[in-house]
Homo-oligomer: A and B are copies of this chain.
């Protein structure tokens, strides 16, 4: 993460990217507006309310994959909680995929130099099941879709093993395409199954699930993640010149689409209620662990921002709307449904923030907007100096749920958090409440609440971006994913993390 502008002293010309002159003197908050900072940041840091909500959602409800009872319970809980917090709330219907996990196990069969042993697997969302007796096939290893394509006939009847060398969080975008599109490509090439190395920055025999998507017209095949340990073992077996034969049993299946909801809440603006600052997070999670970092922390942060804003007088100039999206993990139906249902309003969406990178400490603010966004917002960040969050930082703003707002050129703002350990637990049984640091969660909640207020209160508006945000590779052809020419000088496009 590279800081482009240090706060509060003005940057020296040349050393950092200078804001355009037109907006260089954007006004900061008035004394009255600054008083609001203590009424937002103070309680966020001291009341522990976001943590309490997070515990209710993770321990109380637990996993909440779309279509599950947990997801339905989460919708009801969120609606109840917003009401209890004094925030206006309603449900908006979303039809969601309903994929369910079943029995799952695999065995690495004996070969010349290896005795048989179990291979820890976890079905990928969207995978089809195997016959009840499982499938058995030789494994062929590839490390890219290009390498898969180069193998031609040699893939027929095999299980394709997608290996990679993910080491840090930043590698996720590069390798998630193997999980997202690899099994479909393997099926197209004649494979009978796919194993994907978990997208992990640490492992203690910990499989990571996640979505895989089969192209229209391609027959789904059984697809599962293997642990880092299992992947390393498969690689050693194959690299030693031997063969690897796997028996795979997956009981997962896709049921008919289910009825669910986005949970929408808002704090009406006092002057320009039709102008909307959207705060998003996703209420669904994978079906393993309890979705603490993904995305319980995001849900807790946006709910707490709404609660704190709702009790302030005067309300901010513009409306702050919170959307708890359903089905971010395996379909993005909530994001799409919101964009469709609110199409007429989207030109009045003046900023959108998605919290979906875990509950780490706050790092600063990023933009996907037209020119001048940093200069407009920087003067408003001074209350966040002591939280270490008063910086404009590079990196992508937006998120998977917000990607359907792209064509409407909604300005995206990122309240960035430290995600360096996010992929230790992402999509695993280990994504549990004990992994969340209450201090970091409170700080990021405070940063979000104040940033939301600033965007809803400041006199100026962010210029709209001239190109849509990155759409996750799974949901659109790569050609769509070009960064906007007018976007800030981000080092690299932040990968989607669903």
Contacts and interface: CB of A to CB of B under 8 A. Distances in A.
Contacts of A233: 59, 432-434
B229 A429 contact: yes
Contact of A428 (B69, B204, B424): B204
Contacts of A73: 115
Contact of A115 (B70, B228, B433): B70
A167 interface: no
A252 interface: no
Interface string A124-160: 0000000000000000000000000000000000000
Nearest to A232: B434
B430 A114 contact: no
Contacts of A205: 204, 206, 289, 428-430, 432
10 A-B pairs with least C-beta separation? A205-B429, A204-B206, A205-B430, A204-B430, A232-B434, A204-B204, A229-B432, A62-B117, A62-B115, A60-B113
A433 B206 contact: no
A181 interface: no
List the number of copies, as a whole number.
2
A202 interface: yes
Given A204-B430, A205-B429, A424-B204, A59 B289 contact: no
Contacts of A115: 60-62, 69-70, 73
Contacts of A363: none
Contacts of A432: 205, 229, 232-233
A257 to B, nearest CB: 23
Given A205-B428, A206-B206, 6 more contacts: A59-B236, A63-B117, A204-B204, A227-B429, A232-B432, A233-B434
B59 A114 contact: yes
12 contacts: A59-B113, A59-B237, A60-B113, A62-B117, A202-B204, A204-B205, A204-B206, A204-B430, A205-B429, A205-B432, A229-B432, A232-B433
Interface centre among A115, A428, A430 (most CB of B within 10 A): A115
A425 interface: yes
A290 interface: yes
A436 to B, nearest CB: 11
A310 to B, nearest CB: 25
A18 interface: no
A200 to B, nearest CB: 8
A229 B117 CA distance: 26
A73 B114 CA distance: 11
Which of A69, A73, A114, A434 has the most CB atoms of chain B within a 10 A radius of its CB? Answer: A434
Contacts of A433: 232-233, 236
A74 B130 CA distance: 34
A206 B228 CA distance: 14
A108 to B, nearest CB: 9
Contacts of A176: none
Most chain-B CB neighbours within 10 Å: which of A62, A73, A205? A205
